[in-house]
A and B are shown apart, each in its own frame.
Chain A
């Protein structure tokens, strides 16, 4: 696939599957996905609730807890090293240091009774052998780097004393304090106002360039994906259903689900008379439909779709789609 080009990717995920055992049966939340992120690259993982994207992020850092477990046969390689084969101590060394995670709700990620400077310093000292003084100094530096004014003084604040935007910056500071090679950002700005969101994303861009960091940006927001990523994976029902360089995904989506999402989004720049909603609902992870998982909701579905599950098929120019239309374009209904 183009984009990851000639160098080996920083992150290579192959056949990742995560299952949850519950009263309703086994939920195959992530059901065999492949994805790669190159060094310094920003890659998007887009999908709606229930598609498995957040579980994917947790799985990459082995943060999936029972009743969930990563299925045998899954592979997650960071610079060639299999993260799933590491011992507990080694994986802890990877977290924070090499791969960091930022997600949507800063309030639940931050310790409410510790001052923010202390929390960042603690994160640094958990991964690097530095003195308290050095850790504190670096924490303040990081707070300044994420745009918190008066960083030295603000380092003494408690999380609840900060606004949502500020807390998200603190989470970013904590994630970046040890200069990871890869940042997993799961809906990092969803809960924020749009003007604050713009600032945080700008900031992330700048820091990323400075640190040469790669980012896997997980979101349902197509606007953010369009503006901030070089390549995109679209996820539905536990699978990757489309992958493409970003401009191509938006200009020429190949999978009907991607087309559906794009048609359903209200646009800022034009007034659409009616949004083309995707009929039906996302199926439950305990009962994925047979054949193509999207077929019950797809306007083009025919017999083959109901019977045979398509693999990711090459649609040209670095684009792949899990859809029989790639092989049989004449089946596309007008």
Chain B
């Protein structure tokens, strides 16, 4: 199963389109091109950040990787196995190894279940523990994520947002996964609670050797937790590489605008802001050519940008950009 250690997760040319009903009484059908050709790897014990704004497809991408959504074409491999070619038994075994932590802990926690029950469920479903042994493990997990004694008897609505998020993490960890997709795990939390949960995730990674795909719209959070980052726009990765390098010198016009848009808690720093014109286009009607071209303010924007879709190409060590004009 685990011969020479290649990447733990491989995503290759992944496309996920889905149909949405809209209009009056849902009479119209439209196709949302949520993920439109994405390729990247996540190694064991590594954290890859995935950053983008709403509608870029990052949540759909995370869900597709976990096979919580159907792919349209392309491949997802976990430890060399094709995730979409597995039979139900093999898929269940795989589900132990990859788990998810959502933004809204209500997505992970059933409001009708106590916290203890929620954490325990995975142990039982995968036949990992029962009875007293399961109880013991649940208590150990709740303590590991920093929840106070007695939390197993509490209900999700009875505890704070930060505690619900910790419970969601405990639940994900119960089955001892190797890979965790964290989809905006701290976005709904206050600053001080966010710091606690981020520190917890770092500690857990170090202690358990986890890999993370850390999805967030918050660039500062990504900088803090992910040494490598992929920037997503309208279903495509537009820039990918070491976080420090990209944040210091972003090469894609969208990444540049994104970084300058973030307000920094330091009044002494004056910055040149690139203000993008208009709203992002809808993933139902992505433009031809480069997905970013309608809002791109690069002075060299030309007909190639409007007609030919750029592919990711390496401009520096490990630093890839999907832009016809970058590096010129």
Contacts and interface: CB of A to CB of B under 8 A. Distances in A.
Given A220-B191, A266-B223, A267-B220, A226 B266 contact: yes
Contacts of B257: 195
B244 interface: yes
A277 B263 CA distance: 21
Nearest to A271: B223
Interface stretch (A104-112, A158-166, A326-334): A158-166
A1 interface: no
B220 A247 contact: no
Nearest to A272: B224
Interface stretch (A117-125, A127-135, A197-205): A197-205
Interface in B31-45: none
A278 B192 contact: yes
A202 B269 contact: no
A42 interface: no
Which of B54, B244, B265, B280 lies at the interface centre, i.e. has the most chain A CB atoms within 10 A of its CB? B265
A226 B267 contact: yes
B265 A226 contact: yes
Contacts of A264: 191-192, 194-195
Interface residues of B, number: 45
Given A266-B221, A267-B220, A261 B267 contact: no
A269 interface: yes
Contact of A250 (B160, B193, B247, B265): B265
A312 to B, nearest CB: 22
Contacts of B275: 195, 198-199, 202
A250 B244 CA distance: 24
Contact of A265 (B196, B225, B265, B268): B265
Contact of A277 (B195, B224, B264): B195
Interface string A157-186: 000000111100000000000000000000
B199 interface: yes
B183 to A, nearest CB: 16
Nearest to B194: A264
A262 B244 CA distance: 21
A25 interface: no
B276 A246 contact: no
A277 B195 CA distance: 5
A265 B191 contact: yes
Contacts of A224: 263
Contacts of B94: none
Contacts of B265: 222-223, 225-226, 250, 262, 265, 267
A164 B54 CA distance: 10
A2 interface: no
Interface in B5-57: 53-54
Contacts of A201: 263
B217 interface: yes
Given A199-B276, A266-B220, A271-B244, A223 B264 contact: yes
Contacts of A149: 278
A23 B160 CA distance: 18
A227 interface: yes
A224 B53 CA distance: 18
A266 B263 contact: no
A194 interface: yes
A99 to B, nearest CB: 25
A199 B161 CA distance: 30
A266 B54 contact: no
Given A164-B54, A194-B217, A195-B276, A227 B263 contact: yes
Contacts of A6: none
Given A194-B217, A275-B199, A268 B190 contact: no
A193 B267 contact: no
Contact of B264 (A195, A247, A267): A267
Contacts of A265: 191, 195, 220, 265
Contacts of B276: 195, 199
Contacts of B268: 247, 250-251
Given A149-B278, A199-B276, A262-B265, A48 B195 contact: no
Contact of A195 (B223, B224, B243, B258): B258
Which of A163, A198, A228, A276 lies at the interface centre, i.e. has the most chain B CB atoms within 10 A of its CB? A198
B259 interface: yes
Contacts of B219: 194, 268
Given A226-B267, A266-B223, A275 B198 contact: yes
B162 interface: yes
Interface string A225-245: 111100000000000000000
A260 interface: yes
Contacts of B266: 226, 250, 269
Interface in B268-309: 268-269, 273, 275-276, 278-280
29 contacts: A165-B279, A193-B217, A194-B258, A195-B276, A195-B280, A197-B263, A198-B261, A222-B265, A225-B265, A226-B265, A226-B266, A246-B267, A264-B194, A265-B191, A265-B220, A266-B198, A266-B225, A267-B220, A267-B223, A267-B264, A267-B265, A268-B223, A268-B264, A269-B269, A272-B224, A274-B202, A275-B195, A277-B196, A281-B160
Interface of B: 53-54, 160-162, 190-196, 198-199, 202, 217-221, 223-225, 243-244, 247, 257-269, 273, 275-276, 278-280
